[in-house]
């Protein structure tokens, strides 16, 4: 039990250390899915995902990307952020 307690603060401290590199995983012209690390800073990851989604939607002739939802893969520590291209 002491090992688990000692590890938790380390994991918590490292959770903001991963850089938020948004990756486009799916795009169909009407929506785009952006993958970010669940271990990165939440605000930085959201901002990076929004910027990448907006960039992708604009390349398809749409003016903006609107956030729709997020699903998390707990096995890979990735967030899949869905944006609608409007």
- pLDDT score for 2: 54
| DSSP 3-state of 63 | coil
- pLDDT score for 52: 97
Which positions ≥6 away from 38 have C-beta within 8 Å?
72, 77, 78, 79
- pLDDT score for 10: 53
DSSP string, 22-80: -EEEEE-SSEEEEEEETTB-HHHHHHHHHHHHHHHHHHTT-S-EEEEEEEEETTTTEEE
Backbone angles phi, psi at 16, to 5 degrees: -100, 5
Whole-structure pTM value:
0.79
| pLDDT per residue as tens, the chain (86 positions) | 555 544 545 554 555 567 889 999 999 999 999 999 999 999 999 999 999 999 999 999 999 999 999 999 999 999 999 999 99
- pLDDT score for 25: 96
């Amino acid at each position: 039990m002491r090992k688990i307690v000692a590890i938790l603060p380390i994991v918590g401290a490292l959770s903001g250390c991963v850089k938020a590199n948004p990756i486009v995983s799916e795009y169909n012209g009407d929506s785009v899915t952006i993958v970010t690390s669940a271990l990165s800073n939440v605000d930085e990851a959201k901002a990076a995902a929004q910027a990448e989604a907006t960039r992708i939607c604009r390349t398809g002739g749409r003016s903006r990307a609107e956030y729709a939802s997020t699903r998390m893969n707990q096995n890979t520590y990735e967030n899949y952020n869905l944006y609608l291209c409007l």
